Chain A
Amino acid sequence: MSELITKTAAELADALAAGETTSVELTQVHLDRIAAVDGTAESGVHAFLHVDAEGALAQAAESDARRAAGESRHLLDGVPIAVKDVLATQGLPTTCGSKILEGWVPPYDATVVRKIKDAGLPILGKTNMDEFAMGSSTEHSAYGPTRNPWDQTRIPGGSGGGSAAAVAAFEAPLALGTDTGGSIRQPGAVTGTVGVKPTYGGVSRYGLVALANSLDQVGPVTRTVLDSALLHELIAGHDPRDSTSVDAPVGSYVAAAREGAKGDLAGLRVGVIKELAGDGWQTGVMERFAESVDLLREMGAEVTEISCPSFVHAMATYYLILPAECSSNLAKFDAMRYGLRVVPDGDPSAEAVMKATRDAGFGDEVKRRIMIGTYALSSGYYDAYYGQAQKVRTLISRDFTAAFENVDVLVSPTSPTTAFRLGDKLDDPLAMYLQDLATIPANLAGVPGISVPAGLADEDGLPVGLQVLAPALADDRLYRVGAAVEAALTTRWGGPILSLDKLDLREAGAR
C-alpha cells in the first residue's frame, strides 16, 4: 500500500505540480487500494458499483502528458475522483443503485461530470447508493450494501454511502455526491468525513437523475474542508441546461477555507438550533456537539440559542413533498425507451409490460415512496397532504430567514445517532427517516450546509458530525467555520480523526 493514498487532494495537487508524482501513479495506487479493500456485495467496503481502471489510467496519462508539456487545466488536474452512480457518465454504466437501470450507459455526461473531465480529474468509478437516492443507509441499493470502513457491520449512511465510504477508506481522495435530504452530510457524519450540500441551484443538476427536483443538489465528498472547497469551486456555476441553476458568481470557497483554518472567528454570530436536540439524540453525539460549540466560543464566536419552531414538522413535510416529486420523476421508467423491459407471457399490452417491469425493477423503498406520492397527489387528498406540505415548507423557510437576521450561521449535530448496524432499520421506514431530522430543513429551504467531523462518541467509538448551515448563496461561511473547527480539533486530537489505523479493513485487505 502506498502512503500517497493518505494525502489530501490539495496535497496531491501540490505533489503533481512539484513533479513529485504523476497522475498515473496516483490513479494506480487508488485502483490498488480499491482492489485490496472494496471487496464485493458480500464482504468488504463495497463502495463502488463499477470501477473503470482502463478509462481512469488513460485520463491520467493524458493529464501527465499535458503537465509534461507545461500545461495544466486546473489545480486538481490529475487528481482522481469517484462519482456517485446517480450522475450520468457517457460511456460508463449509470444504474442509480437500481435493477431498472442495470447496464444502462448514458449517451451524455452530467454537467458536473463534464466539468471534472474537462479539468482533467481521472474518474475511478461509480459509487454505490440507495436505489434512486432513497434511503439513509445505502442498504436500499439493489446491488448490495456499502459497509462503513470504521466497522463493517455498520451502515455508511445514505444515500451516498458509497462516495463517503470511498473517501473514508482511502479508496479515493475526492468524490461527488448528491444531497436531497442529507445524502451527502449524514454519510459524512457517520464515516468521519466532510460533505457539503451547496445552495440549491449553485451546482448544475443537468444529468443528475432526479429524485426530487426542488430538493436535489450535487456537492463535494472529501476528507478535509479545503478539499471540499476546491471541488466545490470546480463544479459550481450557472448552467443554461439547468433552468433552476442560479445565475450568480461562484463564491471564494477556497479562500474562505484558508481564512477559517487560521482559527479566528471573532464577531461571528452562531445560532444553536434548539429543536434539534432531545429525545432520540444519542448522548455521545450531543457531547461531541457541545464540545464543538464550546470550541466556536473559544475561537471568538458569539453563540446563542435559536428557535426554529417549524423544524419539528420538517420530516413530515419532506416525506410528502419528496414522494410527490419522485412519483412523478420515476414515471419515466416505463420500459419503452431505456432500462429494463420485462415482458409477461402471451401478447401483453404496453401497460402490462410497464407494470411488470416496474414491479421487477424497483425495490421496496422506491415502491413505498412512489405510492405515498401517488396518494398525496391524488384528487381529494391533494390539499390535505401535498398542498399543506408546501405551506409548511414556507414556514420552515421563514424560520431560516428569521434566524439569519440574528446569526451568521446555524449549527446542530448532523445526525441524531452514530452509524447503526446493517439491517437494524431496514424494515422500519419511519426509524430510517428519522436519521435525516437535522439535514432535511436545509433542503426544504434551499440553504447550504456542511458536515465536518466533531470527534468520536464515547459509547461506541464511532464518528459524530457537526452541521453548519448558512443563508442561500453564503456557502463561503460553511468553509470558514468548517475549516476553523477542523483545524482546532485536529490540533487537539494530534491529527485527523480519520486515519488508516482506526479503520476496520483488515479482513478485506487480507484477501
Chain B
Amino acid sequence: MSQLTRDEVAHLADLARIDLDDAELDHLAPQLNVILEAVASISGVAGDDVPPTSHPIPLTNVFRDDVVVPGLTAEQALSGAPEAEDQRFRVPRILGDEQ
C-alpha cells in the first residue's frame, strides 16, 4: 500500500472542503498513513463471491401516503441561519473570479 504524500493529503482536504494550513498538514498526514495502513489489512479478506452489506437489517424502500403534514415554518427553518434576508438564506457569492 503506497503512502499518501503531503500533496495528496492537501488534495483530500480540498475535496472535503477543509482549509488545512501547513502545520495541520504536517500533523495530520502521518496519522492518516498509520490509519490507512491498519485498515488496508482487510484487502483480500472477502472473495468476489461475497455480496456487500450496506445496511445491517434488510429493508425495502419506504413510502408514505402523499398527504400534507406540518413542517417547519420559514421562521423556524431560518432560526439558525448565519444570515437571512426576505425569508431566504443569505449566502456568500457562489461564483469564482474566473466565472
Which A residues have a C-beta under 8 Å from some C-beta of B? Answer: 104-108, 199-201, 214-215, 240, 243-244, 246, 310, 313, 315-317, 319-320, 327, 331, 334-341, 343, 347-356, 358-359, 362, 364, 367-368, 370-372, 374-376, 378, 384-385, 387-395, 397, 427, 429-430, 433, 443-447, 472
Contacts and interface: CB of A to CB of B under 8 A. Distances in A.
15 contacts: A214-B54, A313-B45, A315-B38, A337-B81, A338-B81, A352-B92, A362-B18, A367-B16, A367-B18, A368-B31, A384-B43, A391-B51, A392-B42, A393-B52, A430-B34
6 smallest CB-CB distances across A and B, nearest first, come from A446-B56, A338-B80, A390-B52, A391-B46, A341-B82, A355-B19
B79 interface: yes
Contact of B35 (A201, A354, A372, A387): A372
A343 B92 contact: yes
A30 to B, nearest CB: 29
A349 B54 contact: no
B94 interface: yes
Interface string B16-41: 11111100100110011011101111
Given A104-B80, A359-B18, A371 B54 contact: no
Contact of A316 (B9, B42, B50, B52): B42
A340 B42 CA distance: 37
Nearest to A319: B39
Interface in B55-90: 55-57, 59, 61-62, 64, 72, 76-77, 79-83, 89
A394 to B, nearest CB: 5
Contact of B32 (A349, A368, A444, A447): A368
A367 B92 contact: no
Nearest to A355: B19
Given A105-B79, A244-B55, A397-B56, 9 more contacts: A336-B89, A338-B82, A355-B19, A367-B16, A372-B32, A392-B42, A392-B46, A392-B50, A393-B52
Contacts of B31: 368, 427, 429
Contacts of B27: 364
Interface residues of B, number: 55
A46 B54 CA distance: 37
Contacts of B16: 327, 358, 367, 370-371, 374
A397 B82 CA distance: 44
Given A319-B39, A337-B80, A358-B17, A371 B52 contact: no
A367 B31 CA distance: 11
B42 to A, nearest CB: 5
Contacts of B64: 240
Interface of B: 4, 9, 12-21, 24, 27-28, 31-32, 34-36, 38-43, 45-46, 50-57, 59, 61-62, 64, 72, 76-77, 79-83, 89, 91-96
A215 B16 CA distance: 22
A472 to B, nearest CB: 6
A429 B28 contact: no
Contacts of B15: 374, 378
Contacts of A214: 54-56
Contact of A391 (B34, B36, B52, B55): B52
B55 to A, nearest CB: 5
A108 B80 contact: no
Contacts of A327: 16
Nearest to B44: A388
A392 B54 CA distance: 11
Contact of B77 (A107, A395, A443, A444): A107
A350 B28 CA distance: 25
A319 B52 CA distance: 16
A334 B92 CA distance: 12
Contact of A350 (B36, B59, B93): B93
Contacts of A358: 16-19
B38 A350 contact: no
Nearest to B99: A349
B80 A339 contact: yes
Given A371-B9, A391-B50, A246 B19 contact: no
Nearest to B62: A243
A388 B38 contact: no
A444 B56 contact: yes
Contacts of A394: 46, 50-53
B42 A244 contact: no
Contacts of B77: 107
B88 to A, nearest CB: 11
Contacts of A392: 42, 45-46, 50
A388 B45 contact: yes
Contact of B39 (A331, A337, A343, A385): A385
A387 B39 CA distance: 13
B52 A387 contact: yes
Contacts of B91: 336, 350
A104 B50 CA distance: 44
